[in-house]
Amino acid sequence: MAAGAPAAIGETGTGTGCGVGLAWLASGAPSGTRLTSVERDRGRASVARDVFRDHERVEILYGDWRRVEERGPYDLLVLDGGGQAKGDGEADDGGERPAPGESAADPARLLTPGGTVVIDDFTPATTWPPRFNGAPDAARVHWLAHPELRAAELRLAPDLAVIVGTRLPST
Ligand SMILES: C[S@@+](CC[C@H](N)C(=O)[O-])C[C@H]1O[C@@H](n2cnc3c(N)ncnc32)[C@H](O)[C@@H]1O
């Protein structure tokens, strides 16, 4: 997917691997493509910056995922830490979860027409409408029924799925 991104790739959540996913994206991207990743953990952001210090087309922004908006629109946007409509990590912080739409990246602003968004770390859906932990799965529905996208859930393993959505070209 990175190879099909001619100008810009974005990622939220540089991460626990201190940039391993970003390294895969960078290795697959065309030579002229810029990559921007946002991480809210200062230590991880700092280590990742060090990892990519010799890669001038890779930029790590420290802060909340919304900083990814400073560099868009993207041909490929990978939501791996914030912006996923899953509650924006508020559960980790003990805070109140925002509604899915409030915590979700906006494809109309962040994707080029025809651009692709990837939302990681779902369990495979087994029902429709989908449920998670006994409740309606609002995050999954948010993406699969998004009016700006054509989206599908892909099962990667028996216990792991990803949603991939493509922004509809402008009419
Ligand atoms: C699953 S890990 C990402 C893994 C990473 N992409 C990799 O390949 O190693 C999630 C990361 O997102 C970060 N994160 C979570 N919520 C965030 C938010 N609201 N804004 C920015 N980063 C966030 C966490 O600090 C964590 O490092």
- Interval between CA 112 and ligand 1 midpoint (Å): 23
Regions of the chain short of the pLDDT cut 50: 89-95
Rg (CA), the chain: 16
So what's the pLDDT on residue 171? 56
Tally of domains within the chain: 1
Look at the pTM and tell me if it is higher than 0.95. no
So what's the pLDDT on residue 93? 46
26-62 pLDDT tens trace: 999 999 999 999 999 999 999 999 999 999 999 999 9
User: Can you give the CATH number for the domain in which 47 is found?
Assistant: 3.40.50.150
Main-chain dihedrals φ then ψ at residue 44, nearest 5 degrees: -65, -40
So what's the pLDDT on residue 100? 59
Atom of ligand 1 at shortest distance to CA of 13? 12
Question: Pocket around ligand 1: residues whose beta carbon is below 6 Å from it?
Answer: 12-13, 15-17, 20-21, 38-41, 44, 64-65, 80-82, 88-89
Name the residue of 9, 12, 76 to mutate for ligand 1: max ligand atoms within 8 A of Cβ.
12
So what's the pLDDT on residue 102? 62
Name the residue of 22, 41, 61, 66 to mutate for ligand 1: max ligand atoms within 8 A of Cβ.
41
**Cα dihedral 48, 54, 55, 58 sign:** positive
Domain that holds residue 38: 2-167
So what's the pLDDT on residue 87? 74
Atom of ligand 1 at shortest distance to CA of 65? 20
CA gap 20, 17 in Å, rounded: 5
Atom of ligand 1 at shortest distance to CA of 24? 8
Atom of ligand 1 at shortest distance to CA of 11? 6
Nearest CA to 14 among 54, 61, 53?
61
Nearest CA to 77 among 1, 142, 20?
1
Residue 119, token pair as written in the block:
């939302």
So what's the pLDDT on residue 90? 42
Helices (H), 14-133: 20-28, 42-51, 90-93, 107-110
